[in-house]
Amino acid sequence: MTSKERFTITINGGKPDRPPIFATFTPQVAEKVSAFTGFSYDPPIDSLLSTRISHTNLLLALGNDAVGIAACTPSDFVPAVQEPGITVNEWGMHFKNIGLYNEFIHFPLAFAETASDIVDYPFPQPHAPGRFD
């Protein structure tokens, strides 16, 4: 049974040969699995994005029946390095590598108290070039 058949049968309430598989990896785990298996490793753009749509070739080679799709960061986006080991994504969220995953350590709207705090926040542009390529 193909992956497409497996998902279609499952979505329609049928019984496939086995449950469809959809798994993701953190960048750190993907790198270790790639080294162990010999499959290529593609570094992610940022931690939040990487757990949604990265490592596609590795995951398919390991038996995933599906790939995740989502909006991406703009084509000209480069994560900022706040200090060694801490990066900032386009949403202003700060991440710290703590081993097998990146921990969120700062949320830019965590202390928003008024509607204007939110309205005035510089949210990413939803239609930026590369977002849906």
For the CA atoms of 37, 42, 45, 47, the dihedral, rounded to the nearest 10 degrees, stands at 0
Token look-up 């699995």 returns: 33
DSSP state, 125? P
Flag whether 38 is in a domain: yes
Residues 44, 53: Cα–Cα separation, whole Å: 9
Flag whether 48 is in a domain: yes
Token look-up 């830019």 returns: 108
Q: Output the pTM of the full model.
A: 0.66
Flag whether 131 is in a domain: no
The H or E element spanning position 11 is helix 3-11
Residue type present at position 47: S
Average pLDDT score over the chain: 88
Render pLDDT for 101-116 as a digit per residue (tens, 0 to 9).
Answer: 888 899 999 999 999 9
Say how many domains are in the chain.
1
Flag whether 99 is in a domain: yes
The residue segments making up the domain with residue 38 are 3-119
The pLDDT assigned to 52 comes to 59
